[in-house]
Every structure is written in structure tokens, then in C-alpha cells.
Structure 1
Amino acid sequence: MQIPDDVRTPAAGGNGPRNRVLRGIGTLRHDVPASLVVFLVAVPLSLGIAVASGAPLVAGLIAAAIGGIVAGAFGGSMVQVSGPAAGLTIIVAELIAAHGWAVTCLITALAGVVQILLGSLRIARAALAVSPAIVHGMLAGVGVTITLAQIHVVLGGAAESSPLVNLRELPGQILTNHTESVAVGVLTILVLLVWARLPEWRRFPLRRVPGPLVAIALATAVSVAMSMEVQRVSLPALSEGLGLGPVLPQGDYAAIGVGVATVALVASVESLLCAVAVDRQHSGRRVRLDRELIGQGAANLASGTLGGLPVAGVIVRSTANVQAGGRTPVSAMLHGVWVVLFVATLSSVIEYIPMAALAGLLVFTGMKMVDLAHIRNLRAHRERHVYLVTLLAVVVLGLVEGVLIGLAVTVLVALKRLTRATVIITSVGDRHHAVIRGSLTFLAVPRVTSALNTIPAGSDVDLDLSVDFMDNAAFDAIHSWRLSHERTGGSVDIDELHEDWYESAVTGRTPREKTPLLSVRPWLRPRMRGEEARALASGLLISGARDYHDAVAPRLGSTMARLSTGQEPHTLLIACADSRIVPNLITGSGPGDLFTIRNIGNIVPAHGGPDAQCGMQAAIDYAVDVLGVRSIAVCGHSQCGAAAALLDGDAPSPALRSWLALSGVARPDLAPAPGTHDRDEAWHAMSRANVLQQVANLRTYPSVRDRVAAGRLELIGLHYDIPTARLHIFDEAAGEFRAAGADDVPVPHLRADRWPLGATDTPNGTHPG
């Protein structure tokens, strides 16, 4: 019976009204529990951030509710949860101190308008241009500042305005204050530290309960049970908090403009980086950055208008949402609804919370913002100094000044890297090989000329220029050195592997960008024979490995990272082991494209032979059955030693004779004499006939034969002509090998009935080739 589209189940793939309802119900059963978990995390953190910012406590809850509802409804992330962010506490505290709370609310609302405009202009990705080292350094500096300030509150004192003063006064605070508030704050920190290190028990998943909730609840319960005389939260009604909205300032508009720009920039960068980071934790739709920025702007506009703190995407709540099973923005929106309902009905419960407990939570949060994992990650990119400079500048000078200093350091480092040129000089006998990489500007001239001047006068030099820029000073220095070196009787052969900056300077043409081979010079090195080759073989291998490590590996990093999860080659290539054949080069293939088997004579023994063939059968079965390659190509070549041995019916060793006998290629009754033209033609024809015979042998394998018959696998014959460096493909319609560059060469497809097993002649009775 045909099922109407509007009543299909989700498994049936329908998109009717009932199916959409079922999908909605399916996500709600994940989003509702996740929203409750995020709500339990958000309430204590929002109160703590309000305390650290010096804002009314209810402002933190207003921001939490609006961040969840508005940013969730209008944003572009599936799972990000927004609310008051610890990274904005210093900015908000400075704005409140300078302008008061009401004007700070206006700044928050105007920052939201700026974010909406930026998102509408579709430039959200520009925020990601800020180095993560600066962002994480800024957050770490904020974390240190919060920790130094709130630890004084935990110890029963008052936080000073400067982190340095807080640090200086800390020893005296530790020695003199031991009150009940200290016990509550220390208990909160200890619970948070212990909770984060609890083992994950399957039957008792305690760590699924948010640590901040456990710590605040336990500290509150202990303080109430022991009747401690501690300062507790005083929370006005939500309706009173909504009346603390923005007012127009009385002058100092320039400072207010700076505040708007600062809040908008920091909140945007933090939100977008958080959205990108949390995207790695779920498998749903990826974040739409411009829409997310518009959602953050709408949330800030609403939060500032209603008297709330600035809003940003928060990694702690977002991660909790993902781990609790949140699938859609509904979980973020519901968490905001729970905050509103909680404040409206159970605000009296919040007033039992000791202020020292919130201070302890802030101390722990500040310590967590100094993430050692980020420092380790930045080590590989040599950006730890940017992180540390930004951190120290934020702590000593302030957040805006620290970020600006971090940006300045990043720019200086980028300029240094752009002007960094490396010069590597090696020698093979009397010939020298110099490689210059990087960007050649006047700053690199002393290093380059100093290295080139170490090359002995009168020697032959191969100079590789793999540079992405060369200014006039660098060209003049290299050109002058070349002329001077050639006057001494030496020669300089210059190859440009990236863009022809040198040649363009000589000819006056615009530099032309090239698509370079991964490494050119190793194939162009002069051939060496005898003792010289044996003596230098290991040195050349190590030199080549170093060239790869320096020039090629950085380019392949992202490709190999993508391939690290598994391989999906499209072709099984069976090629001769001859050192002159480079399969990936002659087929224009990259990493992960070819599953390659190489042996003497590119031989494929017929299926069902002796045990010596089991390796070939295992490789073919694995490529076809496991990897699912779509084609198998056999590649032979001219001047093949195996083809010569097949032609002469002899081989240098018994093992080689046994191996060549597995090819199945019939030897001509009378082979032409070596050194004759007929001999060369017969040798060439034998190597091509060998390719076609091995293709025929492939069809004796059941896995190959069945897939070819079903049209799921193609067999291809290739022949590489060494003297001309040309690749030829067998054209079944023409019955001959044709150059791969010919426009009318069809897509190869050797049908199972085209070459019967054992055939060494073409259908018209002539020897192939």
C-alpha cells in the first residue's frame, strides 16, 4: 500500500506535517534534559560573573535568560549557549566604574547594534583573523585578574582595583583572615577541584551533575546547617531588575564609543571562536557565523535594554549542552526559560547562597581560564610568546591595552616570518646546490649574500629559488653575486620553483605564478656512478628527506591529517619496480589516490598458482574487496629489463627466471639480435605485450572478474616511454597504445571479452605495439 507523504515515519524519509512533528518530538527528548543541565550550570556562574563585574546580581540572571532565548532563537549555531561571559568581566567592571551601571547598559545595547550590522555585512569570518593566541592569552589574563581579586573575597577581605595590588596584599590576607566566610569559600573551591577529578562510574555517573551546582549547594547547605554568620546574596525581584535599563550619557562620548567598540569586538570574537570550537563536539549542522553574530547582537541589544550584562557565547555552558545531549537551539532557549521561571518563583532560594561561595566559584573559574593545553598547542606554532605577552599585559595594564599589545606582537612576528629566508647549501663533488626559500626582502639580503659567498669561486652552482616574493634589493644582491661568480669561471643555473621573480626582473615581465612539483631538483641532479654514487647515496637520501621535511611536509599537513582516518584510493596501480618510474608523478596523483603494487616486470601471476603468488592475490583482494577501488591499471615501460629477459628467454638468476615464468607472456620463436633496430622494436613490443597479458591475468581473479562483468571495475593498460617521458594508454577501439595527451583518447575500459586469457596478439593478428 502506498503511504502518503504526510504520514510517513522519519525512517521512511517523508517531510510532511506529521513527520516534522515526530522529528520535533525526537529532538525534544534530548533538548529538554540538556536544557535543565545547562540551567543548573548557568545560575551560579551568572551570579558569580555579576559579582566579579560589580553589576547588580539580577543583571547576570537577565543576561543568562536573554542569552539563551534570544541568541538561541536568532543565532546560527545548533548547540552554542550564550550568557554573561567571564571574559567580559574586566571590561564591564571598568565601564561601571567610569560611567555607572545605567550607561553601561546603553553601551551593551549599542554594542549589540554594532554586532547586528557586522553580521548583516557578512564579515563575521573576519573576527576569526584574530590569532587564537591573543584570544586565549586575553582570557587567561582575565582569569588571573578574577582569581587575584576574588581570592581576597574568599579570604574575608575586599578586592583591590589593581591585580598587582591584589597580588602584593595576598600574603597578609592569608595570614590574618580566618573567618567563617573563608571556610565557605575554601569548601567551594575544594568541592570543585575534587568533583572535576571524580572517576566516571557507569552505574553512578556523578560527574553528569554540574560541579558548580554541587559546590554552591553544598556550601550553602553547610552554612545554613551550621548557622554561619556570612554575607548572603541579596536579589531584588526580577521586575525591579528590569527597571535598571540604559540612560543617555552626559558627555564623554568618545570614551563611550571606545567602550561600545570594545564590547562588540571582544564579545564577537569570543562568541565566534566558541561556536567554531563547539562545532567539533557535535555532528549536526555547522555554525552559520554571520547569523550567529546577528543573534549575539540581538541578545546584547535586548540584554542592555532590559538591564542585563553583555552576552557572549560561553564554552562551559555550550560544552555542558553537548555532553548532556543537546541537539538543537531549543535546549539553549529552554535553559533561558528555566532561568526566568526560577527567578520568578524561587528567588528566595538564591538568597541563602553565601557571597563567599560565589567568590570561590569565581576563583575556580579564573584558574580554569588559564588553560595549559592551549600553551602546549601553541608551542608547535611558536606562538607561546604572543600568549604570554598578552596575558601579562592584560594583568598589568588592562584588557584593551593587553589585546592591543598582543596584536602588535602578532604583527611583528608575522612581519619577521614574512621576511625570513632560509638558505641551504649542499655539495656533490665540485657542484654545489643552493636552495633559497621564503620571502626575499632587503632585510634578508645580508643573510642570503653571506651564505652565497661561502660557495667556492669557479664552481658550478644549481640555485633553486622557492620564494613567494622578491624585492629589488634582494634581486640586485642575487644578480650581482651571480655575475661576480660567473666572472671567476663558475656557472650558475637558476631554477624558480614558485614564481619567476628573478626572471621577471631580468626581462621586465610581471611575475608568473607556477604550480610547482613537490620537489624538482632531486630529479635534475647529475647522475653519479660507481664509488661516487655509493659513497654519497645515504647523504643524498638524508638531504632529500630534509628537503621534504622543510618544503613539502608543511604543505601536506592538512591533506595527511584528513587522510589519517583511513584510505579510499580510486585505483590499484601495478607497476614495474624500475627506479625511473614514479607512479604518482606520471599519473598526476596525490596522497591517498593510488594503492600501488610494484615488482619486477609489473607481473600479475594468474590466479590459483603456487604459494609465491599469494602476496599478489592478497593485495588484489584487499584493494578490490576492502578498499573498493574503481579501476586497476597495469603500467609497463620501455627499456624494461624484465621484457628483455622475456624476449631472450633468459634471466640473471634462477629466482628471476621463476618469477618471469609467471607472466604468461609467450616468447617469440626467433628473437632479433641485440644492437639492431629490429631488436629495439621487438623489445618495445614485448614490454607492451606484457602489459596486456597482465591485464588478461587479472581477470582470472574471481573478485576482479565479477566486478568487471558487473561494470563496477575497469581495467586499464598503461605504457611509459622513458626517452620521451610520455605515458600511453591502451585504446581498445583502435587496438593500440595512444599518447595520454591526445584529445580523442577515450576513457579506458578493457572489457572481459576483449582480451581472452593468454592472448598475446591483438584481434587483428598483429603483435601489440
Structure 2
Amino acid sequence: MHLPAALTSINVRDVLRYDVPASLVVFLVALPLSLGIAIASDAPVMAGLIAAVIGGIVAGALGGSILQVSGPAAGLTVVVAELVATFGWKVTCFITVGAGVLQIVFGLSRIAQAALAIAPVVVHAMLAGIGITIALQQIHVLLGSDSQSSAWENLSAIPGSLIDMDWHTVVIGGLVVVTMLAWPSLPARYRKVPGPLVAIVGATVVALAAGFDIDKITLDGNFFDALALPELPSGNWGAVALGVITVALIASVESLLSAVAVDKMHTGPRTNFNREMLGQGSANILSGMAGGLPVTGVIVRSSTNVASGARSRASAVLHGVWILVFAVLLTSLVQQIPMAALAGLLVVIGIQLVKTAHMKLALRTGDMWVYVITVLAVVFLNLLEGVGIGLAVAVAIVVVRVVRASITSAPFGTPGSRQWEIRIHGSLSFLMLPRLNKALAKVPAGAHVTMHIDADFLDNAASEMIADWQWAHEAVGGTVVIEETGHALLVDAPKAPPRRHQVATRVLGLAPWKASASSHDADESPTLRSIKSGVHEYHRLTADALLEHMEGLSDAQDPDSLFLTCSDSRVVPNVITASGPGDLFTVRNIGNLIPTAPGADISVEAALEFAVDNLGVSSIVVCGHSSCGAMTGLLAESGPGGAVGTWLEHAAPSLSAFRSGHPAGRSAADAGFSEVDQLAIVNVAVQIQTLQRHPLVGRAVADGRLRVAGLFFDIATARVIEVSSTAVTVTA
């Protein structure tokens, strides 16, 4: 779905065209869900409709997410049920008011986004635990029995409920379950009608037609009779405060995560999280004052809203209005709905909260233990303790991951050489001292040791252990050579508090030698590392990784392109083309020229012939670059002499074309390039034209076997720009 870039006001025409139809669809989805959630929460049935009305109208009008739809949510059913059992319904309403006040504090203090600091895996597991708890409760209602007070009791009572099942309730509840599960696989034209509505209406009609004597929803009066003020608790204020915090935090996290998910579904304005908290808080205050359930942003309703074409917050508000109209005028219809039908709906909702995608993600990211422990704790303890335990496990795993280092110690070289190698990679702190000591203890006295340290964090305790061991090892005749490639250095540890650095100081082939020279090493130049040192570093850090890419290339090459570029040291063909071994057949000369004069150097000619006839390349690319010394020499009043001057005579056609106003030069001037760079771009265009006229290349191009292209590497911006025979295309 596509939305306008900005939705700063509500357009009446758009409301009638898009938001009214969408609000009706959301209303049809929200109605049965609100009733079912109220029943699962052990609250008055009408409390679900009150919360749906207020959540839709108040949170929809005041919230910071224009397309989020709010109302009673399955994520709070377990908490509300516990509060109702502990304090009674009216005190629970007071707790809802308090949670709303706390949410407004979150919004006014502008810390709403802090609620997103809870690890997503804990939130996913929390919802899964709630889903399992709901399913375990409602399966007994579906079977015609009463649900128990705890998950373990519900689990252990399933065999008894199966033995004593009421077949009428099983048929009605099973019909809802089958309808809900099958509905997503039906053709799209049928799915325009919400599945929950079809399931509940269908089951109700079947129950009435068959004359089943089963329990139905009972209402104590109409919508307005259900409105009731909350009561103050008579004591136990500590537990009440804990309930307020629990409801506020869970409702806030669920609303914010839902808003984040909704933002990913449309291209309109992003959520203002602080304003969303103000809207949610206001809705909860009013819902609690009116005798309704707690309100949160609900992803099921919100995603339906987006998918149905809503364009403004009017859709969420109108869905609340339709629920109000229904609750006031059509409550007699609600009392025809069998309890088993809502139980079947809630069983499916509970199952759907356990998402295999979340489990697969946790498995891939190494968070499965967090997921499993959180789910079990939520199901068999309670929601707050479960989330707390899950967060503690998640934090512990993060700490382990952050502070752990890979430490290996092993001999190498020929047998009897007494050469040992110690490799340390990662965060080296006092927590790693036992493992470090174990690795150091393996080294025999008198061995010649090379220690490679690539650390992003290194504290004084680790530095001191290494220094003490080095002193002791060298005192008995051994040698120790320490090579450090990380930013965290041993020499710095005693000087200041440790801090985290970026791991891996350089990428070989990308970072220049001078960028990684170790200024603390007196035996090495602070500005340039020798090729020999570079080769050593390549063998140590990159050779093994490169080896896997050399498979199939040891006997022959099969490049895709001939790449003709300048000899300039700043142009790195494989880096700027993101290519690897065997991709480019590279020819380099000063000025990236293709000589055509009689008696010219035939090395380029030989390369063209070999690439086209022998290697069968599919393209030839000419690549120039900015600040080119050859082009600077061409523009100078007195050009370079000697061999360079002789060679640059091959660039005379490029200089002539530039001075004659070549289209590529004018295009480059319009793009803001300097005169030298304009000439360099014209030179690329002229070399392309030269190739297209070349007998061998021209035939291959005409036959469709070969393409000729031009590139220009702008060193100042590190961007590569396309050049044709007539123009430059600046796309980066």
C-alpha cells in the first residue's frame, strides 16, 4: 500500500473513500476479539467493548501513530486475570487508571523509547508464554469444563476434561478453530470478510439451528449500565503499585512495538513515540474510569487497518464509533454467542501468539535459551517474573558475548623447533584471566612465542598478566614477540581507564600501509610499512580467507572483463568494482591510454587480442580518475619531457577533443568537475571511441559478443561514475 508523503490533516474525501471502509473491516475484526479477551481476563464481558470504544476513539485521536488501532489486547489477559483474582474487578480498574497516569509520565518525560530497550526476543517469548497460557485455559472451556487457576493445573487437568467432554461445546468450539485456521488459505475475495467474524457468526448460527443447550455470553445490563467508577484498594498498596507498574510497562512495550511494526507497513509519517504514550495513557485513564479493560496498541487490528487501505487516524476513531453503536443498540445479539465459540477463538489466538518465525530467529541469533526460559517462566510462574527472568538471562548472555575473547595456544612449525603461537581476539578483561592463564601455562619453558593480539577492549589486569608472564618466560631463556592489530593496546592499559575500540584496524587491500603503521614500535617506520611486513600480515590475516576463493583458478583464468586503468596508486580496481580473484584482466598504464599510432607500444594491443580472442571477455572497461597527473601534464603550458612526454603524445586526441568542446567535457563541467577532471573524463570517452573503431574490438561489439564501457573514479568522494562516449552520468 502506498501513502502520501505527509498526512498533516484529515481530508474529508479521503476519509469517505479510504478510512470509512477500512474502519468497518477493523470493527468486524475487533468486535469478537474484544469479547473473547474480556472473558479470558475474567472481566465483565462489556469491559472489553468499553476498552475497544475508548481505545479506538481516544488513543486513535491523540496517539502518535496515525494508523495504529488500540483496544484490549491478548498480551495483558494473564496480568488482568491475576489482578482480578487478587483485588477484584473495580480495584483492577483503579490499577488501569494508575497505569494510564504512569504512561502519560513516560510521554511527558520523553523517555517513551526507553521501553523499546527490552530485547525483542524477550517480548516475543512473553507473547508466546501468554498465548500458551490462554490456550491452556480456554481448551477446558472448549471441552465443556472449567479452567483451573494455574498453567500446571490446566495442563494436568486436560486428560480429565477430555474424558468428560461435552460434545456440543466441542463441535461449536471446533468449528471456530477450523474456520480460523482455514480462513487464511481461502481465495482473497473470501478473505475480505474477517475470519473471526465468520467463525463466531457461523458457530452461533449452528448452535441456534441445532438447538444445542450450551452456555452463552451473559451481560449484566446494556453498555451504559456497565459503565462504573473504579474503587480504591483497601490495603496492600505495595502490590497495587506493582500492578500499576506491570500494566504500564507491558502496555507501553506492546503499544510501541506494535507502532514500530505498523511503521514498516506504510510510507506515511513515522510514529511519535512520546505522543503515542500520551494517547495510550489517556485511553487507559478513561477506560479504567469507565470500567473497561487496559488498552494497548494491537498489531492484529493495526495491520488489518493498513491492509484495508486506511490513510489517516480517522479509521481508528471510526472503528471505535462503530463498536459503540453496536454495544448500545445490538447487545441482545452478543448474548446469543456460545462461550465455546469464544473459547475456540481464544485458543487460536493463543496458538498464533507462538510464532515459528520468532523461534527460528532466536535459533539463528543464538537467543533460543532466552526464548525458552522466558516462555517457561511466564507460563509456570507469572508474567512479571517471567519477563524479569528473561531479561536477566538476555543481559547475562550479552555480557558473556561482549566480554569473551577467543584465546588459543599451540605449537607450530617443524617438529622440535619449539615455536609456539598464541592468538587472542576480542575483549580481554579480568574476566578472561583464567582462560588466559590456562593458555599461557601450556607454553613450555624456553619456547619461542609469537603472540597475536587483536583486542577491542583490554584492561590493566590482562595487560599486567601478559607482561608478568613475558618477563618470567624470557627470564628462563624463552622469547616472546607480541604483534598487536587491534586498537586496544597493551602499552595503553596502565595509562587510562579502558574503553571499547573498534576491532580490526585495517582491511587488507583497502587500508593503506601508512594508515596502520604502529607508531609505538621503534623498529618500524611510523608512516610506511614495508612490503615484506605487508606480506607477513597478509599470510597471517588474509591468506586463509582468500584460499577458498582461489578454487578452480589454480590452472587457468576466466575473467569477465578487461579493465584498462591508470597506473596511479590511488586506483584499486578490485576494490572499486567489488570484484575478486579471476574477475578482472587488468591493464594499467599512465593515463589509461590505447595507443594507435604506427610503431606505438604494442603491450595494450597484445592485451586486447589475448582478452578478446583467448579469454573471451564479455566487456572492456576504461577507467580514469580525478587529479590525474597525466591529464595535469597535458594541460600544462610546457608538458613533461622524456619518456613520459613521449607516452602522453598518445593522449593528443583527447586534449584536442577537450579543447573542441567534447560533449563529455561539457557534461562534466555542468556536473561541477575541475578542468583537469573534465579532461580525464573526455579522455575516457575518447578511449571508448578508439576501442569501438578498433578492428578486433569493433567486430566483437558488432557481433554482440563484447561491450565497451567507461568509468571515472572520483578520489575525493570515493565514488565511481559512469562515462559514455558523449557524457558523464553522476548517479552517486
Q: TM-score, normalised by structure 1?
A: 0.71
Please tell me whether the aligned partners of residues 183 and 191 of structure 2 are also in contact (alpha carbons under 8 angstroms).
Answer: yes
Structure 2 gap ranges (5+): 517-528, 550-562, 597-603, 635-639, 681-714, 725-732
Please tell me whether the aligned partners of residues 564 and 620 of structure 2 are also in contact (alpha carbons under 8 angstroms).
Answer: no
1:444 counterpart = 2:404: no
Letter in 1 for 2:59: A
Q: What secondary structure sits across from 2:330 in the alignment? A: helix
Partner residue of 2:226 out of 223, 241, 250: 241
1:404 counterpart = 2:391: no
Letter in 2 for 1:57: V
Q: What residue in structure 1 maps to residue 625 of structure 2?
A: 633
Q: What residue in structure 1 maps to residue 677 of structure 2?
A: 716
1:707 counterpart = 2:667: yes
Letter in 1 for 2:588: G
Q: What residue in structure 2 maps to residue 388 of structure 1?
A: 372
Partner residue of 1:112 out of 97, 100, 107: 100
Matching of residues 360-371 of structure 1 within 5 Å: 360-371=344-355
CA distance in structure 1 between the partners assigned to 2:336 and 2:112 by the alignment? 42
Q: What residue in structure 1 maps to residue 543 of structure 2?
A: 541
Residue deviations 1:1-22, cap 9 Å, x none?
A: xxxxxxxxx99x999xxx967x
1:292 counterpart = 2:281: no
Matching of residues 754-769 of structure 1 within 5 Å: none
User: Shift of the alpha carbon at 1:450?
Assistant: 3.4
Letter in 2 for 1:466: A
Structure 1 gap ranges (5+): 1-9, 548-572, 624-631, 638-642, 644-662, 667-677, 720-739, 742-746, 753-769
Partner residue of 2:301 out of 317, 324, 327: 317
Residue deviations 1:586-605, cap 9 Å, x none?
A: xxx9989xxx9883115354
CA distance in structure 1 between the partners assigned to 2:595 and 2:303 by the alignment? 57
CA distance in structure 1 between the partners assigned to 2:210 and 2:100 by the alignment? 45
Q: What secondary structure sits across from 1:353 in the alignment? A: coil
Q: What residue in structure 2 maps to residue 78 of structure 1?
A: 66
CA distance in structure 2 between the partners assigned to 1:52 and 1:151 by the alignment? 11
CA distance in structure 2 between the partners assigned to 1:64 and 1:297 by the alignment? 14
Residues 249/576 of structure 1: CA separation in 2 closer, same or farther (3 Å cut): same
1:158 counterpart = 2:142: no
Please tell me whether the aligned partners of residues 408 and 424 of structure 2 are also in contact (alpha carbons under 8 angstroms).
Answer: yes
Q: What secondary structure sits across from 1:716 in the alignment? A: helix
Please tell me whether the aligned partners of residues 606 and 700 of structure 1 are also in contact (alpha carbons under 8 angstroms).
Answer: no
1:480 counterpart = 2:455: no
Q: What secondary structure sits across from 2:148 in the alignment? A: coil
User: Shift of the alpha carbon at 1:537?
Assistant: 7.3
User: Shift of the alpha carbon at 1:414?
Assistant: 1.8
Letter in 2 for 1:43: L
Residues 695/307 of structure 1: CA separation in 2 closer, same or farther (3 Å cut): farther
1:351 counterpart = 2:335: yes
CA distance in structure 2 between the partners assigned to 1:164 and 1:61 by the alignment? 31
Matching of residues 211-250 of structure 1 within 5 Å: 211-235=195-219, 236-242=221-227, 244-250=228-234
Residues 359/698 of structure 1: CA separation in 2 closer, same or farther (3 Å cut): farther
CA distance in structure 2 between the partners assigned to 1:617 and 1:711 by the alignment? 30
1:337 counterpart = 2:324: no
Please tell me whether the aligned partners of residues 31 and 327 of structure 1 are also in contact (alpha carbons under 8 angstroms).
Answer: yes
Residue deviations 1:418-455, cap 9 Å, x none?
A: 22111367968988775523222222123234335556
1:600 counterpart = 2:587: yes
Letter in 1 for 2:468: S
Partner residue of 1:463 out of 433, 452, 464: 452
Residue deviations 1:334-368, cap 9 Å, x none?
A: 11111101111222222211111011000000000
Residues 491/76 of structure 1: CA separation in 2 closer, same or farther (3 Å cut): same
CA distance in structure 1 between the partners assigned to 2:365 and 2:388 by the alignment? 21
User: Shift of the alpha carbon at 1:636?
Assistant: 7.4
Letter in 2 for 1:237: N
Q: What residue in structure 1 maps to residue 49 of structure 2?
A: 61
Letter in 2 for 1:105: C
- Over the aligned positions, Cα root-mean-square deviation in angstroms equals 4.6
Q: What residue in structure 2 maps to residue 418 of structure 1?
A: 402
CA distance in structure 1 between the partners assigned to 2:500 and 2:653 by the alignment? 46
Letter in 2 for 1:599: T
Q: Percent identity?
A: 41
Residue deviations 1:94-126, cap 9 Å, x none?
A: 000110000000000010000000111111111
Residue deviations 1:493-539, cap 9 Å, x none?
A: 44252234x2223556876967964436996898679xx99xx9799
User: Shift of the alpha carbon at 1:476?
Assistant: 1.5
Residue deviations 1:385-432, cap 9 Å, x none?
A: 101100001111111111111112112212212221113679689887
Please tell me whether the aligned partners of residues 64 and 336 of structure 1 are also in contact (alpha carbons under 8 angstroms).
Answer: yes
User: Shift of the alpha carbon at 1:578?
Assistant: 9.3
Q: What residue in structure 1 maps to residue 702 of structure 2?
A: none
User: Shift of the alpha carbon at 1:294?
Assistant: 1.3
Please tell me whether the aligned partners of residues 594 and 650 of structure 2 are also in contact (alpha carbons under 8 angstroms).
Answer: no
Residues 702/374 of structure 1: CA separation in 2 closer, same or farther (3 Å cut): farther
CA distance in structure 1 between the partners assigned to 2:647 and 2:375 by the alignment? 68
Q: TM-score, normalised by structure 2?
A: 0.74
CA distance in structure 1 between the partners assigned to 2:651 and 2:350 by the alignment? 69
User: Shift of the alpha carbon at 1:691?
Assistant: 9.3
Letter in 1 for 2:300: V
CA distance in structure 2 between the partners assigned to 1:173 and 1:68 by the alignment? 38
CA distance in structure 2 between the partners assigned to 1:326 and 1:132 by the alignment? 27
Residues 480/620 of structure 1: CA separation in 2 closer, same or farther (3 Å cut): same
Residue deviations 1:240-281, cap 9 Å, x none?
A: 111x22011111111100000000011111111111112111
User: Shift of the alpha carbon at 1:181?
Assistant: 1.6
Please tell me whether the aligned partners of residues 604 and 698 of structure 1 are also in contact (alpha carbons under 8 angstroms).
Answer: no
1:326 counterpart = 2:328: no
Please tell me whether the aligned partners of residues 408 and 423 of structure 2 are also in contact (alpha carbons under 8 angstroms).
Answer: yes
Letter in 1 for 2:224: S
CA distance in structure 2 between the partners assigned to 1:686 and 1:312 by the alignment? 78
Partner residue of 1:307 out of 288, 291, 296: 291
Matching of residues 349-748 of structure 1 within 5 Å: 349-423=333-407, 435-452=423-440, 457-459=446-448, 461=450, 463-468=452-457, 470-487=458-475, 488=477, 490-495=479-484, 497-500=486-489, 502-507=490-495, 517-519=505-507, 540-543=542-545, 575-576=565-566, 582=572, 599-601=586-588, 603=592, 605=594, 633=625, 704-705=664-665, 707-708=667-668, 710-711=670-671, 716=677
Please tell me whether the aligned partners of residues 125 and 372 of structure 2 are also in contact (alpha carbons under 8 angstroms).
Answer: yes
Please tell me whether the aligned partners of residues 421 and 448 of structure 1 are also in contact (alpha carbons under 8 angstroms).
Answer: no
Q: What residue in structure 1 maps to residue 705 of structure 2?
A: none
Residues 481/191 of structure 1: CA separation in 2 closer, same or farther (3 Å cut): same
Q: What secondary structure sits across from 1:270 in the alignment? A: helix
Residues 686/392 of structure 1: CA separation in 2 closer, same or farther (3 Å cut): farther
Please tell me whether the aligned partners of residues 601 and 636 of structure 1 are also in contact (alpha carbons under 8 angstroms).
Answer: no
Please tell me whether the aligned partners of residues 635 and 691 of structure 1 are also in contact (alpha carbons under 8 angstroms).
Answer: no
Q: What residue in structure 2 maps to residue 95 of structure 1?
A: 83
> May I ask how many residue pairs the two structures share in their alignment?
623
Letter in 1 for 2:452: L
Q: What residue in structure 2 maps to residue 185 of structure 1?
A: 173
Residues 20/449 of structure 1: CA separation in 2 closer, same or farther (3 Å cut): closer
1:279 counterpart = 2:249: no
Residues 409/29 of structure 1: CA separation in 2 closer, same or farther (3 Å cut): same
